[in-house]
Amino acid sequence: MNFGVLTVTIRTNSLFWEGKPLSTPSSKEQDGRVTLTSVLDLRAAAPLTDELLALRGNDLVIDASKVERIGAPCFQVLLSAVKTWAVAGHTIAIFDESPAFSESATHLGVCLSQHETNENETCL
Amino acid sequence: MDSMAEIKQTFFQECDDLLGELETGLIDMEGGDGDCETVAAIFRAVHSIKGGAGAFGLDKLVAFAHIFETTLDEVRADRLEATPEVLSVLLRSSDVLADLVRAAQNDEELGDDATAGLVEELSAFVGDKAGAADEAPAGGEDISFAPLGTAIDLDDAFGDLDDVEENQSFTIKFRPMPELYANANETVLLFRNLAQMGDVTVACDESQIPTLDEIDPEGAYLAWTIIVHTSHSKDELLEIFEFVEDDCTLEITSEEPSDDADEPELADDEALPVEEESPPAKADRAPDEAASGDDVASEDNVVSLVEKKEKPAAKEQASKEKDTSDATIRVNLGRIDRLVNLVGELVINQAMLTQGVIDAGLERGDSVEAGLEELKQLTREIQDSVMAIRAQPVKALFQRMSRIVREAARATEKSVHLVMEGEMTEVDKTVVERLADPLTHMIRNAVDHGLEKAETRIANGKPAEGTVSLTAAHRSGRVVIEVSDDGAGINRERVRNIAIEKGLISEEDKLSDSDIDNLLFMPGFSTVEKVSNLSGRGVGMDVVKRAIQAVGGRIMISSQPGKGSTFSISLPLTLAILDGMVVEVADQTLVVPLTAIVETLKPTPSDTHELGAGSKVISIRGEFIPVIDAGLTMGYRAEPADPLTGVVLSVETEDGARAAVIVDTIQDQRQVVIKSLEENYGHVDSVAAATILGDGRIALILDVDAIIAREGEALSFHENSLAATG
């Protein structure tokens, strides 16, 4: 069964968050919100790339709470997104990461903070 | 055997394997296939030999292994480039190491001159470190060159670890290729396994990550530098990467003990954030987290994860067993032979049971018949499985040949490249053992006589380096081993002249190309005018042929002028079962080995000729062949049988001569289980062995060579007839 890789919800939000989804969306500027699906293996990397590409130009919030498994290829895509967003001067952040997501990021030593635009963000 | 001797024997058995690995690795490097893994593997092999030798006080072996290992360490650390010159010395060192092991095994002393020259050459490569060789402790490890289980003083930073002295730091540089992911491998799982081995610090190099519009989602952009503090060996770390080693670049180096061992320097200047906020997963923590994360995965994924999660446990088990990681056990050959024997009994018993059921006249479809059919099936499977136990890959044998090529090439000052294929082809152990001598001779011949000198090759538009290939393959139930060279091919004119000179053929004889080629197998035939000390050791190709035939094999030559020659050996898969022709002679049943039979025929009156004193010859396609009456020879009857009423089996003896054996009728052609008469009764002339037929009767297996030897007169006649015919 395939429920699709991503669920994308567009919300209006220009604020930072602190590990939790924002409860009061702002209406000033449109930004995106993406909920990562549970299994982010090699097969999920291409659809994830496409979904993220479609959201360029806006700040982006990525919800990692549903992730049950994630591999290096999808981390590569997420890192690429962080870079892409930074180059474009937009904000991107990942929040509410699931234990599986954190553990995989820890094992891989991956840092998903947006260094240039979001220096206070901590690494996973 | 006392326990120490047993352990020592095991050590020598392991040495065989290690020497094999060493040679394979060096040959891979020579062929340009070697990577850092290969160097590490050959280093480990020499290191293990040194370690074991130290334990048994084999000082000479230890000393040589030490300087050898030191040189390999230089290569491993990229301080010494593996040039062809270096590899040549390393290969010769592996030969000498093998000699030293062999000498130690046989309690012999190998002269110092065998090693002195190489020690000097190796020392030249390693410079100052060579001195360490002289101080190599006989008792075991020295710290400077031993990566495995070496004691290293660590700072207090690791004071929380129980067994500090056993811990060591390794730096792993790991860069996956896209294939790694495409082959369903996952870096996260590898690192999770790694985290269970000890303290890990991971630095991820993200610099190669492109922006989203340029990324290949299935590409590989990340690389890692991981520092592991562990009590496990490098081998065990390597095992984690075992299944991905072809799909990544991997380098594992052990850190030298130093003052700042607790703050190992990372290749990248990136900080290690994982250290700050969330410490690296420890062995006791990672599995729990992994489980919690994986519990709710979809069904498909659960399966794949469970499979992968089982690996760490398996790895741990494997690491405990270390040298027996390929899950093999060593079994006394006598036990296997007994099993083979019992299975032979089972085969016979089953044949007898079948006969009994037929005799009982049971109805078709009776349950006994169905049960018997199943028994047959099972018996066949057991038989195959047991034979497979005795089967061994020819790899070890082939590896010995690479040394022969090197030595032959050096002696003849030719440049030779040995290509080996099908090393994993399996043959019965006895067959493998008995092939060593003939194969050695054939390889030497190929280098010495087959390949031309470099200048001749160049003049003929061939590369200066000659190629000798050694291949093995299964072909229609037999194993075919081929030795080919890309030399000048057989000089048929010369072979023919020599044969005429030696009176083997007459000048008028019209011989086909293949007939001329087969002259090489005639006893005493030697094309070399000057006996070289390489292949001309008084052993001709006839001896090779006899040795091959002794294991039930056949040898054939094919040669193309200017392009080279190929010697093909066709061998039975096992010596326990033989393909035989079941024949009847004076109401007795005999089995004639199929390998000896060239053809069977019904002679016509014009074919047979009396030759005085009761001797007969039979003419087969113009060739006169002495007739042997099996009934007379075996003492089954007093009067000779009429060849016209019987069947003639044209057989070929080991020395290439042919004879016509007369039997009454041919019953069948089938596989028979060989039962040794020598072991169970005693040697009987003209009888090779016995077998038990389905009806329980014993049938003797004819020793074709022996009965022809007994017919001495007929044989000498045959030789004379060769010269007389034509």
> Which of B176, B184, B297 lies closest to A38 in CB terms?
B297
Q: Average of pLDDT values for B99-109? A: 85
Which domain range does residue A65 map to? Answer: 37-124
Q: Does domain B333-392 have CATH number 1.20.120?
A: no
Residue B648 parent element (H or E): strand B647-652
Lookup: tokens for B113: 């001159």
Nearest residue to B526 via CA among B512, B538, B517: B538
Report B:214-233 residues touching A (Cβ under 8 A): 215, 217-222, 224, 226
Phi-psi region at B219: left, alpha or beta (left = phi > 0; alpha = psi -120 to 50): beta
* Interchain proximity A109–B219, CB inside 8 Å: no
| Chain B residues touching residue A66 (CB < 8 angstroms) | none
| Chain A residues touching residue B204 (CB < 8 angstroms) | 108-111
Q: Does domain B394-572 have CATH number 3.30.565.10?
A: yes
Confidence grade of residue B476 (pLDDT, cut at 50, 70, 90): low
Q: Does A28 have pLDDT greater than 50?
A: no
pLDDT digits (tens, 9 = 90+) for A57-115: 888 889 998 998 899 999 999 999 988 988 888 888 888 888 888 888 888 988 776 54
Percent of chain B at pLDDT above 70?
A: 78
Q: Average of pLDDT values for B540-549? A: 79
Sheet holding A60-63, edge to edge: A6-12, A30-36, A60-63, A92-95
Q: Does B370 have pLDDT greater than 70?
A: yes
Percent of chain B at pLDDT above 90?
A: 8
> Which of B217, B222, B301 lies closest to A45 in CB terms?
B217
C-alpha–C-alpha distance, residues B29 and B16, integer Å = 20
Q: What is the CATH number of the domain that holds A120?
A: 3.30.750.24
A with B: how many residue pairs have Cβ under 8 Å apart?
Answer: 135
C-alpha–C-alpha distance, residues B717 and A16, integer Å = 108
| 3-class secondary structure per residue, B427-472 | EEHHHHHHHHHHHHHHHHHHHHHHCCCHHHHHHCCCCCCEEEEEEE
* Interchain proximity B188–A71, CB inside 8 Å: yes
Domain contains A75? yes
- The C-alpha angle with vertex B490 and arms to B485 and B493, in degrees rounded to 5, equals 165
Q: Average of pLDDT values for B687-697? A: 81
pLDDT digits (tens, 9 = 90+) for B172-230: 999 999 888 887 778 888 888 888 888 888 888 888 899 898 899 989 999 999 988 88
Lookup: tokens for B665: 């009728």
Higher-scoring residue by pLDDT: A13, B128: B128
* Interchain proximity A99–B292, CB inside 8 Å: yes
Average per-residue pLDDT for chain A: 71
Q: Does B290 touch chain A (CB under 8 A)?
A: yes
| Chain B residues touching residue A122 (CB < 8 angstroms) | 277
* Interchain proximity A46–B292, CB inside 8 Å: no
Domain contains A19? no
Angle at which helix B36-55 crosses helix B84-105, to 10 degrees, equals 30
Q: Average of pLDDT values for B152-164? A: 36
C-alpha–C-alpha distance, residues B99 and B92, integer Å = 11
Phi-psi region at B177: left, alpha or beta (left = phi > 0; alpha = psi -120 to 50): beta
The pairing of beta strand B577-585 with beta strand B588-593: antiparallel
Q: Does B63 touch chain A (CB under 8 A)?
A: no
Confidence grade of residue B654 (pLDDT, cut at 50, 70, 90): low
C-alpha–C-alpha distance, residues A67 and A55, integer Å = 20
Q: Does B438 have pLDDT greater than 50?
A: yes
Q: Does B675 have pLDDT greater than 70?
A: yes
pLDDT at B584: 92
Higher-scoring residue by pLDDT: B561, B137: B561
From B226's Cα to the closest Cα of chain A, the distance in A is: 9
Distances (CA, A) of A17 to A12, A63, A121, B465: 13, 11, 10, 71
* Interchain proximity A71–B181, CB inside 8 Å: yes
C-alpha–C-alpha distance, residues B461 and B489, integer Å = 15
Q: What is the largest CA-CA distance in chain A?
A: 40
Domain contains A6? no
Q: Any bridge partners for residue B585, and if so which? A: B588
C-alpha–C-alpha distance, residues B426 and B127, integer Å = 44
Dump the DSSP string for B287-314: HHHHHHHHTTS-HHHHHHHHHHHHHHHH
| Cβ–Cβ < 8 Å for A42, A73 | yes
- The ipTM estimated for the assembled molecules is 0.75
pLDDT at B129: 56
| Cβ–Cβ < 8 Å for B449, B528 | yes
| Chain A residues touching residue B287 (CB < 8 angstroms) | none
Residue ranges of alpha helices (H) inside B56-83 are 59-76
Lookup: tokens for B669: 């052609």
pLDDT digits (tens, 9 = 90+) for B482-538: 999 999 888 888 888 888 887 778 888 778 887 888 888 877 676 554 444 444 444
Domain contains A65? yes
> Which of B211, B218, B274 lies closest to A45 in CB terms?
B218
Q: Does B130 have pLDDT greater than 60?
A: no
Higher-scoring residue by pLDDT: A12, B589: B589
Q: Does A11 have pLDDT greater than 70?
A: no
Domain contains A72? yes
* Interchain proximity A99–B289, CB inside 8 Å: yes
From B578's Cα to the closest Cα of chain A, the distance in A is: 54
B3-134 fold: Four Helix Bundle (Hemerythrin (Met), subunit A) (1.20.120)
| Chain B residues touching residue A99 (CB < 8 angstroms) | 289, 292-293
Q: Does B202 touch chain A (CB under 8 A)?
A: yes
For tokens 């982006």, what's the residue?
Answer: A60
Burial B160-180 (b: 16+ CB within 10 A, else e): ebeebeebbbbbbbbbbeeeb
Half-sphere exposure in the Cβ direction for A56 (13 Å, CA): 18
Distances (CA, A) of B223 to A59, A80, A110, B652: 28, 14, 11, 66
pLDDT digits (tens, 9 = 90+) for B412-423: 888 898 999 998
Confidence grade of residue B48 (pLDDT, cut at 50, 70, 90): confident
Half-sphere exposure in the Cβ direction for B495 (13 Å, CA): 19
Which has the minimum average pLDDT: A25-39, A102-116, B266-280? B266-280
Those residues of chain A whose CB sits closer than 8 Å to some CB in chain B are: 1, 38-39, 41-42, 45-46, 48-49, 52-53, 56, 68-73, 75-77, 79-81, 83-84, 87, 98-100, 102-104, 106-111, 122-124
Domain count, chain A: 1
| Chain A residues touching residue B186 (CB < 8 angstroms) | 41, 71-72
| Cβ–Cβ < 8 Å for B320, B233 | no
Q: How far apart are the first and last CA of chain B?
A: 63
| Cβ–Cβ < 8 Å for B651, B601 | no
pLDDT at B276: 36
Q: Does B8 have pLDDT greater than 90?
A: no
Half-sphere exposure in the Cβ direction for A98 (13 Å, CA): 26
Residue of A nearest to B225 (CA): A109
| Chain A residues touching residue B176 (CB < 8 angstroms) | 72
Distances (CA, A) of B69 to B10, B127, B461, B683: 22, 14, 41, 52
Residue B726 parent element (H or E): none
Higher-scoring residue by pLDDT: A82, A15: A82
SS3 B122: helix
Domain contains A31? no
Residue of B nearest to A86 (CA): B211
Average per-residue pLDDT for chain B: 75
Domain contains A95? yes
> Which of A46, A69, A108 lies closest to B187 in CB terms?
A108
Q: Does B387 touch chain A (CB under 8 A)?
A: no
The correct CATH number of B577-724 out of 2.40.50.180, 3.90.550.10, 2.50.20.10, 1.10.1060.10 is 2.40.50.180
C-alpha–C-alpha distance, residues B633 and B708, integer Å = 10
Residue A109 parent element (H or E): none
Picking from B181, B188, B248 by the largest number of A CB atoms within 10 A of its own CB, the best residue to mutate is B188
Report B:242-281 residues touching A (Cβ under 8 A): 272-274, 276-278, 280-281
C-alpha–C-alpha distance, residues B109 and B114, integer Å = 11
Q: Which residues contact A116 (CB under 8 A, 6 or more apart)?
A: A86
pLDDT at B357: 82
Residue of A nearest to B299 (CA): A1
SS3 B408: helix
* Interchain proximity A49–B218, CB inside 8 Å: no
Which has the minimum average pLDDT: B34-38, B288-292, B571-575? B288-292
pLDDT at B221: 92
* Interchain proximity B215–A69, CB inside 8 Å: no
Q: Which residues contact B668 (CB under 8 A, 6 or more apart)?
A: B581, B582
pLDDT at B539: 53
Q: What are phi and psi of B89, to 5 degrees?
A: -65, -40
Q: Average of pLDDT values for B665-690? A: 79
* Interchain proximity B278–A53, CB inside 8 Å: no
Nearest residue to B23 via CA among B115, B98, B106, B78: B98
